Structure 1
Amino acid sequence: MGIPELYVDFNEMLEPDLVLLSAADSKVAVTGEQISLRAGLKVAIYMDDFDDEGRPDDLVAFGVVEANTSVGWAEHVRWCCRIDDHGIRDRSQL
């Protein structure tokens, strides 16, 4: 198995390189497989998006899972993804 690809909402950024991932200890990958989340797990993350002409072109990033330590509006979430130095890109740029 390669790196699991998981859906996120890039509107839920806690820091410029940290996005909320899951309130549960597992998440369903794009393949339908149930992925057990743990600190240090390498993942690909994506969110539906479209290019300027309306064609699908998901936003994607790569990173590692880490425990959520935030307080306030996001404290109910268990896991986050720390995005690598390449940041968030359009899938067509990969």
Structure 2
Amino acid sequence: MDKPRVLVEFNEIVQDEVVLLSRSDEVTDSAGNSFLLKEGLEVSVYEFNHYDGGIKEFLFADGVAELNELSIISEWSKAVKWCCRINENGITVKNT
């Protein structure tokens, strides 16, 4: 089975290679399917931006779900339960 693909905001990186993923256990993937997050679940994360002038930016990465560790996060992100720890391939950016 393919990894679920989940929309994130890459400007919500709380630590090197850790991006906020979800406030709750249940999320919806890019195909509209609901599933439950669990520690260590492999996920793909993505973001799409459309800028003036017609430029489209696609960001994506693979990683694993992990509980948001209160000792490493900032005050503004403590309401989020789940994060994604991005793997060694990092974030890929494509502009069209």
Using the TM superposition, give the Cα deviation of residue 36 of structure 1 relative to its aligned residue in structure 2, in angstroms: 0.5
Task: Structure 1 unaligned segments of length 5 or more: list them.
Answer: none
Q: Which residue of 2 aligns with 1:89?
A: 92
- Render the CA deviation track for 1:28-83: whole Å, top value 9, x for unaligned: 100100021010000000001358x7343410000000000135211111000000
**2:42 aligned with 1:39:** no
Percent identical residues:
36
Q: Which residue of 2 aligns with 1:73?
A: 76
TM-score by length of 1: 0.86
Q: Cα 1:91–1:31, aligned 2, differ >3 Å: closer, same or farther?
A: farther
SS of alignment partner, residue 10 of structure 2: coil
**Equivalent AA in structure 1 for residue 26 of structure 2:** S
Task: Structure 2 unaligned segments of length 5 or more: list them.
Answer: none
- Whichever structure has more strand as a proportion of its residues is 2
RMSD: 2.0
Matched positions, count:
92
Q: Which residue of 1 aligns with 2:59?
A: 59
User: Within 2, Cα distance between the matches of 1:62 and 1:32?
Assistant: 19
